[in-house]
Amino acid sequence: MSFDYDLFVIGGGSGGVRAARIAAGEYGARVGLAEESRMGGTCVIRGCVPKKLMIFAASGPGMAEEMRGYGWQGAATGTFSWEAFRQKLDAELVRLETIYTAGLEKAGVTIHKSRARLADHHTVELADGTRLTARHILIAVGGRPAKPGIPGEELGLISDDLFLMEELPRRALLVGGGFVACEFATILNGLGVGTVQVYRGDAVLRGFDREARDMATLQLSACGIDLRLRVNPTRLDRTATGIAVDFDDGSRDEFDAVFFATGRTPYTQGLGLENTGLRLTSSGAIEVDEWSQSPVPSIFAVGDVTDRVNLTPVAIREGHSFADTVFGAKPRKVRHDPVASAVYLRPHELGTIGLTEEEAAARGSVDVYAATFRPMQSMFAGSDAKVLMKLLVDPNDDRVLGCHIFGPSAGEMIQLAAIPITMGCTKADFDAAMAVHPTIAEELVTMRSPARRHRPDREAGEMEAGQAAE
Ligand code: NDP
């Protein structure tokens, strides 16, 4: 059977673009790609890239405050022009979108500016009804923000909407305690918006190292966000002056804008799954194996739609590995563990890789090397903001199991720490590296003795003894 394409990619985000470009450009495959919106996907158009630029913008007041501590008289940020920032941001996104499109075209990929759905195991259908056949189909449609399912939630916005707002709200509510909620609360607060964040748990960023979570939780409040823990909205109502929100602790408050950052779900709606033998996991993701191959041999999926590790670099690696495997005769699987990541808060970020202290202690014995201190730069300026540097080490073989950094530029630091840790290095390898002085990161190579040791057998024994004593 002859096909229109060797590969048809649905979705022009990080994973889809990489797979298409490698399959066509490096391996000469005939590739078509459909994208219904702007080329670049969530990360480039309404995620990582604009978000990080906004984080930089939101750093202004904190930087000016710090400089006042260094003797700069009257150093101030002035007023922030959302309009000026938006214009620059729009131009930057157009620039990036153009680069993505040009890269695909140069590789010989045919771009279809259209939504596409699966018609059968080798056929996709575009929005105008055109049907195209392909030997292989790659689904790379990503995820979409999910709202919590409460009355009036249609009055609430999602993170995508912030990038499109004509003007900033005066007072905003952020719902959630994950990556997006914490980063967007940091942005809005830094840009001068009165920001309330509500989270149903007792510390933000569930799933991260507890000590680091506690520091992030403290920082959000310390930098001026009205963070309310163990609180969740129950309904939204429009009023003459804004949006009234009822909370489950009986309180009620009013905002100009409400943003839901309550997670994301795989974007499989309307994808034509019913025309295929594809299966969904319990989280609604497309089920694939370690080669990103679905139970239908001609259909593969990468990125957030598979809900494995929902990060751009992972989607890119999955897309590239798929192309190498299927079109380059270079079989390559993606290692999903360990994967470093960062949460971009201000003034301190959270960078993390590997096991948390809680996970490491549940797994077996672990030595915890941890230092908490006030870094030179902000301490001099009069801030008592603290940094955390933590290494988790298996005492049996000295291997570093995890690293957690809460501090300025922790995202940059964790990227470098990720190299030896991914290689399987030991604490002795860290110790062998000479310190770079004076830096915050030197703490990673100068921590000599554990702050504490977890020994599960002993802890269990102690618990049993404690229970017997009661
Ligand atoms: P997360 O899953 O990280 O967080 C969702 C938050 O919403 C959690 O605090 C969760 O609470 C809360 N929540 C979920 N359902 C409800 C509900 N019904 N009512 C109230 N609260 C609720 O999702 P995000 O949207 O923050 O981020 C999505 C993904 O995007 C992340 O997994 C991440 O991979 C990626 N991302 C990465 C970034 C980075 O690398 N810097 C930045 C932004 C996003 P609970 O914890 O109690 O479940």
Rounded Cα distance, 389 and 422, in Å: 18
- Tokens for 407, please give them: 């501090």
| 176 belongs to an annotated ligand binding site | yes
Of the residues 122, 320, 437, 454, only one is catalytic, namely 437
DSSP string, 301-355: E-GGGG-SS--HHHHHHHHHHHHHHHHSS---PPP-SS--EEE--SS-EEEEEE-
The residue whose CA has the least distance to atom 16 of ligand 1 is: 262
Q: How far is CA 5 from CA 1, 125, 189, 280, 330, in A?
A: 12, 13, 49, 26, 21
Contacts of residue 424, Cβ cutoff 8 Å, sequence gap at least 6: 399
Q: Burial of 467 by CB count in 10 Å (0-12 exposed, 13-18 middle, 19+ buried)?
A: exposed
Ligand 1 centroid–CA 148 distance in Å is 11
Atom number in ligand 1 closest to CA 343: 41
- Contact 205/349 with Cβ under 8 angstroms? no
What spacing in Å lies between the alpha carbon of 46 and ligand 1's midpoint? 16
What tens digit of pLDDT does each residue of 250-294 get? 999 999 999 999 999 999 999 999 999 999 999 999 999 999 999
Q: If one looks up domain 5-145+265-327 in CATH, what number appears? A: 3.50.50.60
Q: Is 179 labeled as ligand-binding?
A: yes
Question: Does 226 belong to an annotated binding site?
Answer: no
CATH topology match: 153-262 vs 341-457:
no
Task: Please compute, for residue 78, the number of CA atoms within 13 A of its CA located in the half-sphere on the CB side.
Answer: 4
For the chain, the domains span 5-145+265-327, 153-262, 341-457
Q: Which amino acid is at 443?
A: E
Phi, psi at 158, each rounded to 5°: -120, 170
Nearest C-alpha to atom 18 of ligand 1 is from which residue? 148
**Which residues, 6+ apart, have CB-to-CB distance to 409 below 8 Å?**
349
CA of 402 to the centre of ligand 1 (A): 22
Which tokens belong to 178? Answer: 């994950």
Ligand 1 center from residue 175 Cα (angstroms): 10
* Burial readout 345-376 (b: 16 or more C-beta within 10 A, e: otherwise): bbbbbbbbbbbbbeebbeeebbbbbbbeeebe
Tens digit of each residue's pLDDT (9 = 90 or more) over 348-388: 999 999 999 999 999 999 999 999 999 999 999 999 999 99
Q: State the closest ligand 1 atom to the C-alpha of 149, by its place in the atom list counted from 1.
A: 18
Counting ligand 1 atoms within 8 A of each CB, the residue from 200, 231, 306, 309 with the most, and so the one to mutate, is 200
Crossing angle of helices 179-190/60-68, nearest 10°? 60
pLDDT, position 457: 78
Q: What is the pLDDT of residue 91?
A: 98
At 364 the three-state DSSP class reads coil
Distances (CA, A) of 161 to 31, 51, 141, 260: 32, 12, 19, 10
Q: Are 18 and 146 in contact (CB under 8 A)?
A: no
- Report how far ligand 1's centroid is from the alpha carbon of 183 (Å): 11
Q: What is the pLDDT of residue 469?
A: 41
Atom of ligand 1 nearest to the CA of 145: 25
| Per-10-residue mean pLDDT, the chain, length 470 | 96 98 98 97 96 97 94 86 97 97 98 98 98 98 97 97 94 98 98 98 98 98 98 98 98 98 97 97 97 98 98 98 98 97 98 98 98 98 97 98 98 98 98 98 98 86 47
- Calpha distance 333→326 (Å, rounded): 11
Helix 48-58 vs helix 82-107: crossing angle, to nearest 10:
150
Cβ(368)–Cβ(209) below 8 Å: no
CATH of the domain spanning 153-262, picked from 3.50.50.60, 3.40.50.12280, 3.40.640.10, 3.40.718.10 = 3.50.50.60
> Does this model's pTM top 0.85?
yes
What pLDDT was estimated at residue 461?
56
* CATH (residue range 341-457): 3.30.390.30
Which protein residues touch ligand 1 with a CB less than 6 Å away? 148, 176-181, 183, 199-201, 206, 232, 261-264, 310-311, 341-344
Tokens read off for 446: 């100068």
* 180 annotated to a ligand binding site: yes
Best residue among 187, 262, 352, 409 to mutate for probing ligand 1, ranked by most atoms within 8 Å of CB: 262
Confirm or deny that 161 is annotated as ligand binding. Answer: no
Whether residue 438 is preceded by a cis peptide bond, meaning omega within 30 degrees of 0, is yes
Active site residue 437: yes
| Dihedral over Cα of 409, 413, 416, 417: its sign | negative
